[in-house]
Chain A
Amino acid sequence: MREEKALVRVENLVKYFPITRGIVFQKQVGAVRAVDNISFEIREGETLGLVGESGCGKSTTGRAVLQLHKPTSGSVYYDDVDLVSADGGTMRDLRRDIQIIFQDPYASLNPRMTVGHIIEEPLEVHSIGTKKERRERVKELLALVNMNPYFINRYPHEFSGGQRQRIGVARALALQPKFIVCDEPISALDVSVQAQVVNLLEELQDKLGLTYLFIAHDLSMVRHISDRIAVMYLGKLVELTSRDELYSNTQHPYTKALISAVPVPDPVMERERERIILRGHVPSPANPPSGCRFHTRCSIVEDICKREEPKWREIKDDHWVACHLV
C-alpha cells in the first residue's frame, strides 16, 4: 500500500443545522444532522470521490471542509493546521490553497461580470500583481482550461454549460491552489460534455499536482476519476476504500445497493445482472433512525443494527466500513 502524506485530515466532523420555530422569538426545536461525526483523510495528489444520494450530507461535508459552513464540532487539518480553530488572517492566507468548483455553472458565475473579471477577482482580493499582470494571468488561465483567451471580455450568458464550467475551473485555479473541492461539477452538464470537463480535471491534476475531493451522485463517473471512494448515507460514512476494492470487494449493504442501482449502458448486462432494489426512501436527517441509520432499508438487518450504532473500523488495509455484519 502506498504511504502518502495526508494533505487534508477530517476528524469527527459534525455539522448540524438548527430547526427553529417562531419569527421574533426564535427557539431551536431540533437539528438537521447533515454531517454526523465523520473522519477521513485525503492524500496529497489523489482524488477522493464522495458519493451518496441527495440529502446525505456530501455537499455539506465539502463545504464544512472549506469552512464555508462552520462545523458544529470536529477538526479539519490542512497541512497540519486546524482550519476550524484558525484565526481570520491565517484562514485568509490558506484560502489560496483550497478552492471549490460549484455544481451549477449557471448560478455560480455572476451574470453582470465579464469572464475576465470573474477569473481575476480572486487575484484582486489577494492583491496579486498589477492590473496588467493579472490580465495576462487570466489569459493564461483561459488557455489552461482550453478556452480562447479572446473570450476575456464576454459575459457568462454567451457560453454553454460546459464552457461555463471551464470558467469556474479557471477561477478556482487562479490562485494556484493545491486542493480543490469539486462539488458535483458535471451533474448539470449534458452527457457528451461531461467527458470534456472530466478529462480537463484529470489533465489539470497531472499537470499541476492537484488534490481533489470529488463530490457526486453519479457512481460511474466517480469510479472513473477517483483513486479512493467514500460512500455516505444520512450524514455518516458507511464505506471508504480504493476504487477497485470498492467495486470488487463491496462490504456495506448500502454500497452494494447503490452500485447495483446504477444502470449500465449495455442491454445484455442489464438483462442478466441481479439488481438489488431498495425499498422505501431515505429517512429524514432531522430524525434519523436509531442504531445503524441504514437499518430501515437494509436487506440483512438484525437486532443489533437497530440498537447500536456500528463502529467506523478498518476491516483490512485501507478499507473502512461501518456495519455490524461484515
Chain B
Amino acid sequence: MEDREVILDIQDLRTRFATNEGLVHAVNGISYQLHAGETLGIVGESGCGKSVSMLSVMRLLQVPPAKILADAIKFKGEDLMLIPRSEMRRVRGNEIAMIFQDPMTSLNPVLTVGFQIKEPLKLHMGLSDEDATERAAELLTLVEIPDAELRLNDYPHQFSGGMRQRAMVAIALACNPTLLIADEPTTALDVTIQAQLVDLVKQLQHELGMALIWITHDLGVVAGLAERVIVMYAGFVVEDALVDDLYGNPRHPYTAALLRSLPRMDGRSGEVLEVIEGLPPDLLDEPVGCPFAPRCSFVKDKCREQNPLLEEFAPQHNVACWIDINTGEFK
C-alpha cells in the first residue's frame, strides 16, 4: 500500500444548502485520503459536488445557506472542522492553495497582478514589500511569464486568459503549499493553452513536490495527469481507483458508460456514441438507493432501495455498486 504520509483525510463529508425550494443535497457523505505529493483527479458532471466538496474543505462556502457536516477533515493531523473560521485563514492560501475555474473573475481587476501575488507573501510569510516584490517576480518567472518584473505592474485585463491562469498559479504557489487544489482551471481555456497549463502544473508539482487535486469534467485531462481518480455522481463518490485501473477496468456502471460515451481520437470513428439516457437526479430530493439507479442499465430492485457503500473491489480500487458489471449479477 501507500507508504507516503496521509496529508488530507476526509471522513464522511456532507454539504447541504438551504434554498427557497428546499434542502439541496450537494455532497452526501464522501470519504477519502490524500497522500503527500499525490496527484488526485476528481471527475464528474456539473452538479455532482466535486467543487462544493473542495470548497467545503477550504470553508469557502457561505454558512448559511451552506451547512457543512463531517466526522473529520484532517489536514496534516489537524481537524479543520474544529478550528474556528478565523484560524482557517492561517491554512488557506498558505498550506492549501486553490486555483479557480475562471481566471477573469478570480483576479481582482482593480489591483495589479504584482499586488495580488505579494498579498499572501506578506500575510503568511511576513515578507517586507521589497522582498515580496522580488519573490513575486521569481514566481512569475517560474510560471513562464516573460519580463516578469515589468509585468508585475500590469492589471489582469492586460493579460491573456492563459497568462491570467498562470498568474493564479503563481499566487497559489506563493507560500509553497503542501496541497494545491485546481478547480477546473482549464475549462475556460483553449486546447493549446490548456496543454501549456497542464504541462506547467505537472512540471511545477514535480519540482516542488506538493500534492495536487485536479477537479475536472474532462476525462482526457485527468488521464494524462493524475495518479489516482475519484469519480463523483450526485454528491457521492462512486469509484476511486488508480488511473490505469479506472480507465482500463472501470467497475462502476457510470464510469464505464461515461468512458464509452466519449468519441475517441484514436482509430475508431463513425459509430454511434453510447448514450447515458436520462438526467442526473434532482439534488432537492433526499437520496434514496443508488443515485445512478434510474439511468443504470444493470439496475435491480435492491439498487433503488439501498445505496451501496464504497467498498474495496481490489487493492486501491473502491467501487460503490451492488452489481458486478462483467456478469450483470450481484457481487
Contacts of A193 in B (CB 8 A): 279
What are 19 pairs between A and B in contact, CB < 8 Å? A53-B192, A192-B276, A193-B279, A219-B265, A220-B220, A220-B262, A224-B269, A258-B191, A259-B265, A262-B191, A263-B218, A265-B220, A265-B264, A267-B224, A269-B223, A270-B220, A275-B195, A277-B199, A281-B193
Given A193-B279, A217-B190, 13 further pairs, Cβ under 8 A = A162-B279, A191-B219, A192-B275, A202-B272, A261-B192, A264-B220, A264-B265, A267-B243, A271-B224, A275-B195, A278-B195, A281-B160, A282-B190
> Which B-chain residue is minimally distant from A269 (CB atoms)?
B266
In the bound complex, CA of A265 to CA of B190 (Å): 18
Residue pair A262, B265 in contact (C-beta under 8 Å): yes
Instruction: List the B side residues contacting A221 at CB < 8 Å.
Output: 263
Chain B nearest CB, measured from A139 CB (Å) = 22
B258 with A264: CB separation less than 8 A: no
Instruction: List A contacts of B224 (CB < 8 A).
Output: 263-264, 267, 270-271
**Which chain A residues lie closer than 8 Å to B192 at the CB level?**
53, 257-258, 261, 277-278
- Please give, as numbers and ranges, the residues of chain A lying within 8 Å of B243 by CB-CB distance: 267
- B residues in contact with A258, CB < 8 Å: 191-192
- A171 is an interface residue with CB less than 8 A from chain B: no
Chain B residue with Cβ nearest A278: B192
CB proximity to A under 8 Å, residues B219-256 = 219-221, 223-224, 243-244, 247-248
- In the complex the two chains form, is A199's CB within 8 Å of B273's CB? yes
Contact A261 B194 (CB under 8 A): yes
Is the C-beta of A198 less than 8 angstroms from some C-beta in chain B?
A: yes
B326 to chain A, nearest CB (A): 20
For residues 171 through 208 of chain B, which have their beta carbon under 8 Å from a beta carbon of chain A?
A: 190-196, 198-199
Contacts of B163 in A (CB 8 A): 281
**Chain B residues positioned under 8 Å from A196 (CB to CB):** 275-277
A268 within 8 A of B: yes
Provide the B46-61 mask, 1 if CB < 8 A to any CB of A, else 0. 1000000000000000
Chain A residues with CB under 8 Å of B221's CB are 263
A223 part of interface (Cβ distance < 8 Å)? yes
The closest CB in chain B to the CB of A55 belongs to B190
The contact of A265 among B45, B162, B223, B272, by CB within 8 Å, is: B223
Cα–Cα distance between A271 and B194 once the two chains are bound (Å) = 17
| Distance of A199 Cα from B272 Cα, bound (Å) | 7
A217-B219 CB under 8 A given contacts A199-B275, A265-B247: no
**Does A228 touch B at the CB level, under 8 Å?**
no
User: In the complex, what residue of chain A is closest to B217 when comparing beta carbons?
Assistant: A191
Residue A249 interfacial (CB < 8 Å) = no
B154 beta carbon closer than 8 Å to chain A: no
Instruction: Kindly state whether residue B257 has any CB partner on chain A within 8 Å.
Output: yes
A54: Cβ under 8 A from any B Cβ: yes
Is the Cβ of B220 less than 8 Å from the Cβ of A263?
yes
Q: Which residues of B contact A199 (CB under 8 A)?
A: 272-273, 275
> Closest 3 interchain pairs by CB?
A263-B220, A270-B224, A224-B263
Is B259 in the interface zone, CB < 8 Å from A? yes
Beta-carbon nearest neighbor of B224 in chain A: A270
Question: Given A190-B45, A265-B262, A278-B196, A54–B190 Cβ distance below 8 Å?
Answer: yes
Point out the residues of chain A lying under 8 angstroms from B195, CB to CB. Answer: 260-261, 263, 275, 277-278
Q: Known interface pairs A199-B275, A278-B196. Does A219 touch B191 (Cβ–Cβ under 8 Å)?
A: yes
The B-contacting residues of A in range 225-283, CB under 8 angstroms, are 243-244, 247, 257-271, 275, 277-279, 281-282
Instruction: Output the least CB separation between A199 and chain B (Å).
Output: 6
A223–B271 alpha-carbon span in the complex (Å): 11
- B105–chain A nearest beta-carbon distance, Å: 17
Q: How far is the CB of B233 from chain A (nearest CB, A)?
A: 10
Provided the pairs A199-B272, A261-B194 are in contact, do residues A267 and B265 lie with their beta carbons within 8 angstroms? Answer: no
Q: How far is the CA of A202 from the CA of B269 in the complex (A)?
A: 13
**Does B261 sit at the interface, judged by CB under 8 A?**
yes
Residue among B46, B196, B198, B266 making CB contact with A190, cutoff 8 Å: B46
- What residue in chain A is nearest B279 (Cβ atoms)? A160
Other-chain residue from B190, B263, B275 in contact with A53 (beta carbon distance below 8 A): B190
